[in-house]
């Protein structure tokens, strides 16, 4: 488990990049208050998804606008074709943690 | 429509072929491309690929296998007969088709008289990039002619590879027309930040050297020593093969906002298309990757009988010296520019272009997150004609 931040530090609609792990991950809090963690680097080219546009539980890559479903990691359209990895998020005692492992789900 | 032919096997052509299948076309789909290679992505050719960091630039994906494309690579289209829509190919074949997608893109312009001189390059194709990469060894004296996006990216990558780089620009500042003087000056600064000499207001007169380039001579007589030269002075549309087709050709294949040409069942997309833009209220030949990716959805729908104007605002990015530049919208002479976040000196800022009080463009340097937000404000046309 890696500790990300306190819940209060990640407002709804925002994302935070965790680069203490390699490859880095991005943790999102949707407007509805759900948390998702995924690989931060787009599967298409070199862009950080934490910088992307969050809408519902979809993030749009800031470079070429492929959209990824944060629940499944699947891209919805070109140019990305490969999914991003997703990781379970646990929120306990006001702290966001991610079950980060080499073999992600 | 039973048979469709896509001419040009690069981003716009492949994307249109995919879109035709996605939109339900189940007839024969032939893709003709004059390069021997499978479709590949061009932006890395001046960036990661040229730097030797990545050679993974193929555009085809495993999903394409199921789409049943009939590939004709290494064959050039020579003419389009407007009466029966037949297309002559350089391999002697004649394609008879009902629908035609023109996606023949653009080619790099040469300085007159320099094509074929050893050590002088342009950068448009994979083969160009492989040839250039072999010459960019540490310490080599490189002169880049033209401080546009490709010139600047080549300078930046060559610098990373240890070359000694000089950039020559005809205008007083780089990217003056596209970005205006304020931000053109910031782009000029990027070269200086990284030890690249930028010579502006300079016309190249000729390239000197017997068997191989030795120097570049400017109109004022200055001679700039050069072991390698890259000419980055823009691109010309590949439309000569359409002479006699009856299509309107004017700095590109002229189309309406839905990619339709003057001939029924013939559409044009990507860098070769001079399309009516609902953002610019004018005809515009976009030479940007995102346009070549997105316009095809419109073109395929038009070919399948459902024409609708393409609405996305122009967008491009460029990576120079580790700085990511993103731009959307369109700047015109007289527009004002305002930095609304960050600091141009730190090469991290967001600037907006305004015409009166209307937002017409957004530029970000190393501000992807803010840029993503501002980009949405230009997603739909903003100005009345
Ligand atoms: C080095 C480089 C870097 C770039 N970087 C960026 C960037 O950072 N950001 C950005 O937004 N854009 C960038 N671009 C621009 C982007 O790559 C183009 O907009 C895009 O490739 C256009 O795609 P297209 O399919 O319309 O045309 P093209 O990619 O030009 O493809 C046209 C194809 O048609 C073939 N062809 C031509 N004539 C015929 C014929 N008669 N018969 C058969 N085939 C034919 C050509 O050989 C070519 O393979 C860059 C371009 C280059 C060259
Ligand atoms: S880098 Fe994300 S879509 Fe291209």
Tens digits of residue pLDDT in B94-144: 999 999 999 999 999 999 989 889 999 999 999 999 999 999 999 999 999
**Sheet with B253-255: strands ordered across:** B253-255, B273-277, B282-284
Reported ipTM? 0.90
State the pTM of this model. 0.95
What pairs with residue B359 in β-bridges? B354
Residue A101: how many CB atoms within 10 A of its CB? 11
Enter the tokens of residue B282: 């004018």
- Could you identify the residue written with the tokens 């024409």? B307
Nearest to A65 by CA among B17, B60, B312: B312
Ligand nearest to the CA of B286: 1
Please state the rounded mean pLDDT for residues B212-227.
97
Give the model's pLDDT for residue B116: 87
- Could you identify the residue written with the tokens 């470079």? A63
d(CA B6, CA B33): 9
Residue A79: closest C-alpha in chain B: B293
Ligand nearest to the CA of A81: 2
- The alpha-carbon gap from B369 to the nearest alpha carbon of chain A, in Å, equals 4
CB of B76 closer than 6 angstroms to any ligand 1 atom? yes
What's phi and psi for B102, nearest 5 deg? -95, 115
Confidence of residue B68 (pLDDT cuts 50, 70, 90): very high
Give the model's pLDDT for residue A77: 84
Task: Please determine, for residue B272, whether its predicted confidence score (pLDDT) is greater than 90.
Answer: yes
**DSSP designation for B121:** E
Helices (H), chain B: 11-22, 48-51, 126-135, 149-160, 176-193, 289-303, 368-377
What's phi and psi for A97, nearest 5 deg? -130, 150
Give the model's pLDDT for residue B8: 98
Binding pocket residue ranges, ligand 2, CB within 6 Å: A 42, 44-45, 47, 61, 63-64, 66, 79-80
Instruction: Give which of B42, B372, B374, B375 to mutate to test A binding, by max A Cβ within 10 Å.
Output: B372
Task: Please determine, for residue B382, whether its predicted confidence score (pLDDT) is greater than 80.
Answer: no
d(CA B247, CA B102): 11
Task: Please determine, for residue B194, whether its predicted confidence score (pLDDT) is greater than 80.
Answer: yes
Nearest to B103 by CA among B277, B281, B280, B298: B298
What is the best residue among A23, A42, A49, A77 to mutate for testing ligand 2's pocket, by most ligand atoms within 8 Å of CB?
A42
Pairing, β B141-145 against β B228-231: parallel
d(CA B116, CA B109): 13
Q: To the nearest 10°, the Cα dihedral for A74, A80, A82, A88?
A: -40
Mapped onto helix, strand or coil, the DSSP state of residue B224 is: strand
Please write the tens of the pLDDT for every residue from A34-62. Answer: 999 999 999 999 999 999 999 999 999 99
Pair B291, B15: CB distance under 8 Å: no
Please state the rounded mean pLDDT for residues B322-336.
96
Give the model's pLDDT for residue B383: 59
Radius of gyration of chain A (CA): 13
Pair B269, B293: CB distance under 8 Å: no
Q: Which positions of chain A have pLDDT values less than 70?
A: 102-105
Pair B365, B352: CB distance under 8 Å: no
d(CA B357, CA A44): 37
Question: What mean pLDDT value characterizes chain B?
Answer: 96
Task: Please determine, for residue B385, whether its predicted confidence score (pLDDT) is greater than 80.
Answer: no
* Cα-based distances in Å from B168 to A45, A75, B93, B153: 30, 42, 45, 14
Enter the tokens of residue B160: 């990373």
Residue A46: closest C-alpha in chain B: B48
Question: What secondary structure, in 3-state letters, does B247-276 show?
Answer: CCECCCEEECCCCECCCCCEEECHHHEEEE
DSSP string, B280-326: TTEEE----HHHHHHHHHHHHHHHTT------PPPEEEEEETTEEEE
Please write the tens of the pLDDT for every residue from B294-315. Answer: 999 999 999 999 999 999 999 9
Enter the tokens of residue B204: 């190249």
Which residues have a Cβ under 8 Å from the Cβ of B121 and sit 6 or more positions away?
Answer: B128, B131, B132, B135, B228, B229, B230, B231
**DSSP designation for A83:** P
């Amino acid at each position: 488990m890696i500790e990300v931040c306190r819940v209060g530090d990640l407002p709804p609609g925002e994302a935070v990049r965790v680069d203490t792990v390699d490859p880095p991950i991005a943790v999102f809090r949707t407007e509805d208050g759900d948390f998702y963690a995924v690989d931060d680097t787009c599967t298409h080219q070199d862009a950080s998804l934490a910088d992307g546009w969050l809408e519902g539980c979809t993030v749009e890559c800031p470079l070429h606008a492929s959209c990824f479903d944060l629940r499944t990691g699947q891209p919805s359209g070109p140019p990305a074709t490969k999914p991003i990895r997703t990781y379970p998020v646990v929120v306990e005692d006001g702290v966001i943690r991610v079950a980060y492992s080499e073999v992600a789900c | 429509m039973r048979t469709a032919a896509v001419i040009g096997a690069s981003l716009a052509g492949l994307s249109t072929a995919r879109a035709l299948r996605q939109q339900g076309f189940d007839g024969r789909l032939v893709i003709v491309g004059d390069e021997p290679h499978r479709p590949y992505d061009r932006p890395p050719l001046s960036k990661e690929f040229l730097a030797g960091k990545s050679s993974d630039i193929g555009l085809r994906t495993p999903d394409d296998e199921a789409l049943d494309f009939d590939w004709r690579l290494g064959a050039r289209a020579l003419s389009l007969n407007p009466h029966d829509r037949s297309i002559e190919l350089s391999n002697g074949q004649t394609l008879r088709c009902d629908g035609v997608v023109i996606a023949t893109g653009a080619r790099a312009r040469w300085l007159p008289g320099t094509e074929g001189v050893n050590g002088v390059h342009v950068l448009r194709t994979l083969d160009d990039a492989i040839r250039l990469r072999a010459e960019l060894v540490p310490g080599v004296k490189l002169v880049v002619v033209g401080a546009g996006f490709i010139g600047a990216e080549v300078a930046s990558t060559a610098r990373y590879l240890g070359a000694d780089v000089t950039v020559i620009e005809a205008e007083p500042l780089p990217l003056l027309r596209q970005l205006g003087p304020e931000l053109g000056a910031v782009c000029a600064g990027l070269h200086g930040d990284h030890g690249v000499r930028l010579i502006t207001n300079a016309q190249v007169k000729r390239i000197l050297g017997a068997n191989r380039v030795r120097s570049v001579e400017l109109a004022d007589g200055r001679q700039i020593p050069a072991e390698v030269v890259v000419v980055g002075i823009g691109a010309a549309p590949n439309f000569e093969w359409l002479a006699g087709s009856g299509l309107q050709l004017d700095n590109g294949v002229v189309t309406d906002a839905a990619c339709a040409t003057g001939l029924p069942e013939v559409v044009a997309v990507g860098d070769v298309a001079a399309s009516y833009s609902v953002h610019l209220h004018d005809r515009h030949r976009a030479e940007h990757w995102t346009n070549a990716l997105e316009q095809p959805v419109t073109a395929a729908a038009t070919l399948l009988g459902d024409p609708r104007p393409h609405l996305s605002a122009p967008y491009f990015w460029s990576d120079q010296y580790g700085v990511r530049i993103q731009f959307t919208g369109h700047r015109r002479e007289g527009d004002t520019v305002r930095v609304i976040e960050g600091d141009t000196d730190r090469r991290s800022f967001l600037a907006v272009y305004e015409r009166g009080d209307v937002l017409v463009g957004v530029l970000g340097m190393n501000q992807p997150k803010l840029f993503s937000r501002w980009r949405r404000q230009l997603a739909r046309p903003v100005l009345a004609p």
